[in-house]
């Protein structure tokens, strides 16, 4: 049976070379891992946590939907020292009209309503999960109304996380994810070549944008355990040990990324 390492060989080789550049220039690669849409204990969540805990030195950020978060989720996470919880909106419900992309924190909704929901969700998660919860907003579908972010510090948030290049926001820590392993049109693994291509492009872009006296921005892996097919799981179990063999991987703790009292 062929391995994912046999697929897209040119991209594996190109990625190996790029990682050598990172090792030489920066002494390794800073990575972080965010998994979205958790709300309760499931076999898929258990599988994700076991990968994180048993096989790699990674630290997982679990974006949890407050309105659906259960006591069984909290009990399952109690023993996971390398897992932190972020806030994934409130209900993960689309309020955007059909002419726009899906969005819960949509521009047509009153800001006061959004504020009440988000703060209610944060209070609930803090009570449910204690110190494992970090007041960091992950907007559903990685998008929100443009004027929302400036209010987050006043609402008690340390930071927020979306998808793609990040822009600095006064009073907030921002750490985005960059790699998505799922093709959302087919709801299947995006393919070895597609995902490796994402890694290669992001690594090249981040290296080119980092001056010699700067530390590179942490590169974020995004997963959705509830949507994973067998190939998604196979990719994680193949790629994560492979990259740690190629380069010094510095997994970034969500606490270190987002705490207002810590410098990146």
Q: How confident is the model over 148-170, as a mean pLDDT?
A: 94
Q: How confident is the model at residue 55 (pLDDT cuts 50, 70, 90)?
A: low
Per-residue pLDDT band for 53 (boundaries 50, 70, 90) equals: confident
User: 161 near 174, Cβ under 8 Å?
Assistant: yes
Question: Using alpha carbons only, what angle is made at residue 260 by residues 258 and 264, rounded to the nearest 5 degrees?
Answer: 60
Spatial distance between the Cα atoms of 57 and 160, rounded to a whole number of angstroms: 24
Calculate mean pLDDT across residues 180-207.
97
Given this model, what pLDDT does residue 70 score? 98
Measured distance CA(189)–CA(21) in Å, rounded: 28
Query: To the nearest 10°, the Cα dihedral for 142, 101, 105, 257?
Result: 10
Structural domain includes residue 10: no
Kindly state the average pLDDT of the residues 224-248: 95
119-130 pLDDT, tens digit each: 999 999 999 999
**Within-domain flag for 202:** yes
Question: Whole-model pTM?
Answer: 0.95
Asked if residue 96 is part of any domain, the answer here is yes
Domain boundaries, position 228: 30-258
Buried b (16+ CB within 10 A) or exposed e, 76-102: bbeebebbbbbbbbbebeebbeeeeee
CATH of residue 165's domain is 3.20.20.370
Residue 166's pLDDT band (cuts 50, 70, 90):
confident
Q: Structurally, how many domains does the chain consist of?
A: 1
User: Is the model's pLDDT at 263 over the cut of 50?
Assistant: no
The answer to the question of residue 25 being in a domain is no
**pLDDT class of 2 with cuts at 50, 70, 90:** low
């Amino acid at each position: 049976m062929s391995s994912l390492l046999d697929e897209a060989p040119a991209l594996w080789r190109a990625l190996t070379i790029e990682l050598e550049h990172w090792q030489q220039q920066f002494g390794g690669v800073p990575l972080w891992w965010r998994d979205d849409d958790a709300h309760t204990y499931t076999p898929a969540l258990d599988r994700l946590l076991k990968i994180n805990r048993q096989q790699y030195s990674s630290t997982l950020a679990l974006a949890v939907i407050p309105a659906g978060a259960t006591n069984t989720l909290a009990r399952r996470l109690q023993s996971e020292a390398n897992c932190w919880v972020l806030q994934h909106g409130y209900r993960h419900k689309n309020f955007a009209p059909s002419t726009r992309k899906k969005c819960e924190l949509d521009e047509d909704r009153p800001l006061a309503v959004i504020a009440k929901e988000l703060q209610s969700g944060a209070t609930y998660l803090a009570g449910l999960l204690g110190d494992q919860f970090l007041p960091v907003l992950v907007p559903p579908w990685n998008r929100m109304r443009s004027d929302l972010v400036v209010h987050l510090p006043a609402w008690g948030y340390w930071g927020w996380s979306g998808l793609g290049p990040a822009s600095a926001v006064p009073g907030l820590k921002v750490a985005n994810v960059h790699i998505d392993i799922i093709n959302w049109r087919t709801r299947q693994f995006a393919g070895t070549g597609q995902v490796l291509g994402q890694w290669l492009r992001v690594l090249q872009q981040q290296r080119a944008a980092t001056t010699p006296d700067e530390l590179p921005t942490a590169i974020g892996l995004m997963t959705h355990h509830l949507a994973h097919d067998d190939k998604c799981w196979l990719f994680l179990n193949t790629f994560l040990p492979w990259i740690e063999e190629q380069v010094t991987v510095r997994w970034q703790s969500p606490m270190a990324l987002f705490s207002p009292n810590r410098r990146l």
